[in-house]
């Protein structure tokens, strides 16, 4: 395990990918804060300092992922993360097989241990790659708007869900989430942390699927792009088939832009994805048994 | 001379024909599922072949497919290089030729696929089932007519330009996947900000057809020359072979 991390730290793609992800998040945070300021002034002008309305305009809506289509860098992050993360991680087995380093490793440790360590390292690193820049984005938005406490929003949201808040019109009716509304009532932090962890699990699943497929594919370029290809192909096919509620692209989106979302879909898709990744990986292990 | 490069390009494609067949099947499945009246979800309305092609978003569907194909085909190993070429100029010409071949084949497949699906809807599905509803709702009356040939030319040259840019970045950065990601990001950002690509697709036909036609040709010639320059400077001795 330690050896794997030493290898990762010597890989210059590792730093490149991490800084690109952080850069996208920084751009998203700055544009988000700008949008928030404009929106706040506009709402202040329109509703003449109605406190109920103003409490619903909160900077947490500009956290990466929450801001959605209006914030370009945020949607770019959610579109391209499999490709970016896989540049650093997916080809680790592939490169060692091509260069012959794998034979060298098999002399020192058992084959089973080698593959297990690779899988676990890739899984954990992909998860951190997805999640860490996003949490950095939260901190950045909070620093720029100087707001850390979201209890006002949580209480207003609670009364919005219950229908007891007095509002001049129903502009904010779209704010009510279909799923996990309780978490948002508890605190926006809990809600977003849940979604980021969910996204991280999906991201790790994709990257591990790519790692498993790298034992079957001979082309380096294709190996790197496999997670992104699966991600986009799923998105396209499920949209065309009319079942977008089963698509990870929509499931990991904290904005919940679809109406037919359900918890079963999330659980089933996540388990299915990990199961497929695991099966392909063990098939690949068995296939490459006779290296020596 | 160019016959030889065309032959090599087709050879490159033939070496990975499984991937190629899978991509064609994927495109066909997407197009057929989009027109079969099976669900109630409707994204947009369309009328002509051009509309139908553009409904699969250029930046999310056409361009990634093209770049994945091109990147896979352009991974030639060093022994092939040694066997095929004697001059650097030939390597440059072969790269350019590969871009144009892949673009032409992809344009042909997508045009034929969308023409076929469009006629399937116009002649078969719509007359039988008049309250037809699929993902892309077919509307018999046209809103604005545009020339299909001009659109195909635009599609071809914009895709070729992105392919040439890919080759340029590949020479500069020495990495296929990083250059692919850069081009994908640039096109997505362009779609959301300045929108050069949509302008060429939707507007240029009515505002300035001849000048945009010439502009694209000029860009292609410039990029071709630049690739020649880069390949001439290529240093084979200091290469990071992984």
pLDDT digits (tens, 9 = 90+) for A118-149: 999 999 999 999 999 998 988 998 888 888 88
Of A83, A95, A229, the CB nearest to B181: A83
Residue reference for tokens 């380093």: A101
Confidence of residue A290 (pLDDT cuts 50, 70, 90): low
Alpha carbon distances (Å) from B190 to B49, B184, B198 = 24, 10, 9
Confidence of residue A197 (pLDDT cuts 50, 70, 90): very high
Q: Percentage of chain A with pLDDT > 90? A: 22
Whether residues A236 and B71 touch (CB distance < 8 A) is answered with no
Which chain A residues have any C-beta within 8 angstroms of a chain B C-beta? 16, 72, 76, 79-80, 83-84, 87, 95, 98-99, 219-222, 224-225, 228-229, 232-233, 236-237, 239-242, 244
Query: Between vectors from CA A95 to CA A23 and to CA A130, what angle results, nearest 5°?
Result: 30
Report how far Cα B2 is from the mean position of its chain's Cα atoms: 22
- The H-or-E segment that residue B114 falls in is helix B88-119
Residues 6+ apart with CB under 8 A from A172: A53, A56, A160
Q: Which tokens in the block code for residue B162?
A: 């992105």
B104 pLDDT higher than 90: yes
Yes or no: say if B163 and B99 are a contact pair by the CB < 8 Å rule.
yes
Whether residues B177 and A221 touch (CB distance < 8 A) is answered with yes
Q: Which tokens in the block code for residue B1?
A: 């001379």
Yes or no: say if B204 and B158 are a contact pair by the CB < 8 Å rule.
no
pTM for this prediction: 0.87
Spell out which residues of chain A touch residue B60, defining contact as CB-CB under 8 Å: 79, 232, 236
Q: B151: closest CA among B79, B76, B48?
A: B48
Helices (H) and strands (E) in chain B, counts: 12, 2
Yes or no: say if B102 and B5 are a contact pair by the CB < 8 Å rule.
no
- Tens-digit pLDDT profile for residues A229-242: 999 888 888 888 87
Yes or no: say if A143 and A209 are a contact pair by the CB < 8 Å rule.
no
DSSP chain A: -HHHHHHHHH-HHHHHHHHHHHHHHHHHHHHHHHHHHHHHHHHHHHHTS-HHHHHH--GGGGSTTTSGGGSHHHHHHHHHHHHHHHHHHTTHHHHHHHHTHHHHHHHHS-HHHHHHHHHHHHHHHHHHHHHHHHHHHHHHHHHHHT----HHHHHHHHHHHHT-S--SSSGGGGG--SS-HHHHHH-HHHHHHHHHHHHHHHHHHHHHHHHHHTTT---HHHHHHHHHHHHHHHHHHHHHHT-GGG-HHHHT-TT---SS--HHHHHHHHHHHHHHHHHHHHHHHHHT----
Spell out which residues of chain B touch residue A80, defining contact as CB-CB under 8 Å: 181, 184-185
Q: A27: closest CA among A78, A74, A84, A75?
A: A74
Residue of B nearest to A231 (CA): B60
Spell out which residues of chain B touch residue A99, defining contact as CB-CB under 8 Å: 242
Whether residues B41 and A244 touch (CB distance < 8 A) is answered with yes
How does the average pLDDT of chain A come out, rounded?
A: 85
Q: Percentage of chain B with pLDDT > 70? A: 95
Q: What's residue B242's pLDDT?
A: 47
- Tens-digit pLDDT profile for residues A33-87: 888 888 888 888 887 777 777 777 887 888 888 876 677 888 888 888 999 999 8
Query: B36 in contact with A at a CB cutoff of 8 Å?
Result: no
CA-atom Rg of chain B in angstroms: 20
Q: Where are the alpha helices (DSSP H) in B120-208?
A: 126-128, 148-173, 176-192, 196-198, 204-207
Residues 6+ apart with CB under 8 A from B200: B154, B158, B212, B216
Confidence of residue B144 (pLDDT cuts 50, 70, 90): low
Q: Which tokens in the block code for residue B224?
A: 């071709």
Specify which residues B136 forms β-bridges with.
B44
């Amino acid at each position: 395990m330690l050896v794997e991390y030493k290898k990762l730290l010597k890989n210059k793609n590792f730093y490149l990918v991490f800084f690109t992800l952080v850069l996208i998040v920084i751009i998203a945070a700055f544009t988000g804060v700008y949008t928030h300021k404009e929106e706040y002034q506009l709402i202040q002008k329109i509703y003449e300092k109605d406190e109920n309305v103003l409490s619903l305009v909160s900077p947490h809506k500009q956290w990466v992922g929450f801001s959605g289509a209006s914030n370009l860098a945020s949607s770019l992050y959610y579109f391209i993360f499999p490709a970016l993360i896989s540049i650093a991680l997916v080809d680790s087995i592939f490169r060692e097989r091509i260069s012959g380093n794998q034979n060298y490793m098999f002399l020192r440790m058992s084959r089973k241990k080698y593959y297990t360590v690779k899988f676990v390292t890739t899984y954990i690193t992909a998860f951190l790659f997805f999640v860490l820049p996003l949490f950095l984005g939260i901190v950045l938005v909070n620093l720029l708007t100087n707001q850390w406490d979201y209890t006002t929003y949580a209480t207003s949201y609670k009364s919005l869900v219950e229908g007891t808040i007095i509002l001049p019109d129903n502009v904010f009716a779209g704010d009510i989430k279909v799923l996990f509304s309780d978490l948002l009532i508890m605190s926006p932090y809990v809600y977003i942390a849940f979604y980021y962890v969910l996204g991280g699990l999906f991201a790790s699943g994709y990257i591990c699927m790519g790692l498993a497929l790298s034992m079957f594919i001979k082309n380096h370029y294709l190996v790197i792009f496999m997670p992104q290809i699966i991600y986009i192909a799923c998105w396209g096919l499920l949209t065309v088939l009319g079942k977008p509620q089963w698509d990870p692209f929509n499931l990991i989106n904290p904005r919940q832009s679809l109406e037919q979302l359900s918890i079963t879909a999330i659980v089933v898709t996540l388990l299915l994805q990990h199961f497929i990744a695991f099966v392909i990986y063990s098939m690949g292990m068995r296939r490459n048994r006779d290296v020596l | 001379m160019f016959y030889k490069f065309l032959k090599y390009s087709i050879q490159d494609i033939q070496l990975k024909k499984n991937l190629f067949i899978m991509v064609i099947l994927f495109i066909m499945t997407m197009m057929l599922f989009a027109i079969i009246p099976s669900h109630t979800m409707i994204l947009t309305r369309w009328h002509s072949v051009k509309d139908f092609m553009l409904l699969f978003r250029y930046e999310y569907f056409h361009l990634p497919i093209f770049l994945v194909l091109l990147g896979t085909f352009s991974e030639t190993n060093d022994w092939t290089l040694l066997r095929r070429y004697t001059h650097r100029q030939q390597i440059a010409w072969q790269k350019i030729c590969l871009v144009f071949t892949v673009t032409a084949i992809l344009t042909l497949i997508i045009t034929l696929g969308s023409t076929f699906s469009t006629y399937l809807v116009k002649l078969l599905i719509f007359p039988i089932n008049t309250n037809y509803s699929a993902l892309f709702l077919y509307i018999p009356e046209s809103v604005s007519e545009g020339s299909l040939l001009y659109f195909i030319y635009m599609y071809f040259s914009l895709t070729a330009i992105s392919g040439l840019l890919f080759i340029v970045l590949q020479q500069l950065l020495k990495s296929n996947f990083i250059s692919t990601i850069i081009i994908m990001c640039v096109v997505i950002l362009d779609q959301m900000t300045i929108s050069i690509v949509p302008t060429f697709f939707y507007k240029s036909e009515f505002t300035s057809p001849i000048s945009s036609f010439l502009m694209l040709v000029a860009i292609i010639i410039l990029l071709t020359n630049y690739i020649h320059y880069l390949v001439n400077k290529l240093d084979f001795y200091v290469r990071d072979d992984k």
